[in-house]
């Protein structure tokens, strides 16, 4: 039996995915591995004992989850338990991990659990960079965290049998940091093109929609200023530490911006269909999944000209890129999008061609086959 052990990010769990409204999205490729026969069983190295109950519920709803198991801590998760599980959990769950055909990480965060498992079991390891964690910490001014992340990345690149990155910029950087660049593979993040598809049951709203965390990385204060400057209407879906500050800024400027709280991914597809425009004003990204979903839905998308976003948006063709990240530059891009031609059909065609789930599974299946052979 071909088993994959999948390591979640540090403190990650199926329960946390469900609370964030993204469980269906994040677990989709794992269930697809089973459905198409890439693997016969999936172990998920998780940090919450609540996943035991959640998995029972999933099994009752869909028999594919009978082929899943969760490797969880022996005690209720606290900060110390989470850290200890990331270090000693691979030893505690040695037998099911050693019986696996391959190991795979979700992100670099917490990937040392998979590296420990790799050393102990000698199972082939696919190390995934959804984004370069050290770069994200560095750009956010977190120098100590960036140093530690860079160290984990260096060890991971040495031990991994294959490395997957999701953007051209990441592929170039990671290939330059490993002695065996041939083991680095570009496999962009997938999107469920059947769920996120064009078509609406009501008249499209001319408002822009933003979906994501309310954090400094997302550059939302400048987006609010751009909305006020150009008279644009924006609905923001998401939660985060800047929510209070952003609400105060909206009120102070009198901007036509609504902060509407979080939205489950299961409801996002239907909500996106009611809009015509999407905006992602980030300072830096990996390969933003929410942008993939908006483009798959056929929205006219606006983003900043940064790696990851510019991998997806060709200005004036599959969306619109701002020249920079200031409110003036964002306002100009919003204006061009609202006054220019529709780019939704071209965006949808790009996603169907390059970022569908089937293509993603085929690419990773080929990588697993190469390392297993």
Other C-beta atoms closer than 10 Å to the C-beta of 198 total 14
Helix (H, G, I), strand (E, B) or coil at 208: strand
Average pLDDT over residues 201-217: 83
Hey, what are 325's tokens? 């990240």
Query: What CA–CA distances, in Å, run from 18 to 36, 155, 263, 324?
Result: 24, 31, 12, 35
The burial of 177, by beta-carbon neighbours within 10 Å (0-12 exposed, 13-18 middle, 19 or more buried), is given as middle
Residues counted in the chain: 373
How much is the pLDDT for 181? 84
Cα–Cα dist 11/72, whole Å: 11
The CATH fold of domain 205-353: Rossmann fold (3.40.50)
Other C-beta atoms closer than 10 Å to the C-beta of 164 total 24
In the chain, where the domains are located: 3-190+356-372, 205-353
Running DSSP on this structure, what letter comes out for residue 150? H
Query: Could you tell me where the beta strands, DSSP code E, fall in the chain?
Result: 3-7, 41-45, 68-71, 102-105, 125-129, 162-165, 184-186, 205-211, 234-237, 257-259, 275-280, 300-304, 320-322
- 205-353: same fold as 3-190+356-372? yes
How much is the pLDDT for 22? 85
Over residues 150-164, the pLDDT tens digits come to 999 999 999 999 999
How much is the pLDDT for 167? 87
Over residues 98-151, the pLDDT tens digits come to 999 999 999 999 999 999 999 999 999 999 998 888 988 998 889 999 999 999
How much is the pLDDT for 21? 79
Q: Is the pLDDT of residue 202 over 80?
A: no
pLDDT > 90: percent of the chain: 86
Q: Model pTM?
A: 0.85
Residue 30: pLDDT band (50, 70, 90) is very high
pLDDT > 70: percent of the chain: 98
Over residues 238-279, the pLDDT tens digits come to 999 999 999 999 999 999 999 999 888 778 999 999 999 999
82 vs 168, more confident: 82
Q: Which residues contact 155 (CB under 8 A, 6 or more apart)?
A: 112, 115
DSSP string, 13-65: -HHHHHHTT-HHHHHHHHHHHHHHTS-SEEEEE-S-THHHHHHHHHHHH-GGG
Query: What CA–CA distances, in Å, run from 288 to 5, 131, 361?
Result: 25, 9, 19
Average pLDDT over residues 341-345: 94
Residue 368: pLDDT band (50, 70, 90) is very high
| CATH code at 3-190+356-372 | 3.40.50.2000
Cα–Cα dist 259/250, whole Å: 9
Average pLDDT over residues 47-60: 97
Query: What CA–CA distances, in Å, run from 266 to 26, 120, 193, 196, 261?
Result: 11, 38, 13, 10, 15
CA atoms within 13 A on the CB side of 105: 33
How much is the pLDDT for 214? 96
* Greatest extent of the chain over all pairs of C-alpha atoms, in Å: 62
Q: Which residues contact 182 (CB under 8 A, 6 or more apart)?
A: none
In the predicted model, what is the mean pLDDT of the chain? 94
Q: Is the pLDDT of residue 20 over 90?
A: no
């Amino acid at each position: 039996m071909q088993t994959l052990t999948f390591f979640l990010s540090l403190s990650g769990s199926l329960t946390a995915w469900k609370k964030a409204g993204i469980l269906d999205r994040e677990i989709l490729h794992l269930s697809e591995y089973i459905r198409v026969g890439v693997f016969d069983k999936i172990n998920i190295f998780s940090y919450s004992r609540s996943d035991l109950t959640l998995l029972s519920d999933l099994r009752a709803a869909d028999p594919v989850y009978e082929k899943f198991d969760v490797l969880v801590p022996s005690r209720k998760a606290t900060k110390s338990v989470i850290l200890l599980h990331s270090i000693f959990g691979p030893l505690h769950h040695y037998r099911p991990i050693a019986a696996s055909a391959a190991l795979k990480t979700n992100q670099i965060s917490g990937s040392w659990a998979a590296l420990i498992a790799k050393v102990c079991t000698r199972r082939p390891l696919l190390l995934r960079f959804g984004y370069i964690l050290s770069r994200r910490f560095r750009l956010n001014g977190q120098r100590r965290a960036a140093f530690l992340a860079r160290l984990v990345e260096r060890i991971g690149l040495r031990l991994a049998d294959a490395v997957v990155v999701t953007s051209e910029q990441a592929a170039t950087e990671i290939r330059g940091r490993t002695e065996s660049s041939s083991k680095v593979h570009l496999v962009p993040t997938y999107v469920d093109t059947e769920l996120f598809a064009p078509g609406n049951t009501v008249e499209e709203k001319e408002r822009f929609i933003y979906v994501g965390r309310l954090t400094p990385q997302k550059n939302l204060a400048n987006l609010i200023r751009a909305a006020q400057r150009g008279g644009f209407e924006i609905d923001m879906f998401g939660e985060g530490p800047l929510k209070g500050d952003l609400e105060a800024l909206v009120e102070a400027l009198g901007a036509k911006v609504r902060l509407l709280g979080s939205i489950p991914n299961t409801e996002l597809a239907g909500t996106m269909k009611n809009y015509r425009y999407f905006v992602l004003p980030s300072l830096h990204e990996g390969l933003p999944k929410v942008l993939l979903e908006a483009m798959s839905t056929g929205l006219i998308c606006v983003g900043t000209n940064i790696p990851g976003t510019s991998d997806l948006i060709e200005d004036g063709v599959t969306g619109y890129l701002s020249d920079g990240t200031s409110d003036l530059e964002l306002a100009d891009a919003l204006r061009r999008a609202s006054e220019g031609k529709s780019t939704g059909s071209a965006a949808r065609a790009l996603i169907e061609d390059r970022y569908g789930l089937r293509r993603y599974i085929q690419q990773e299946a080929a990588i697993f086959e190469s390392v297993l052979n």
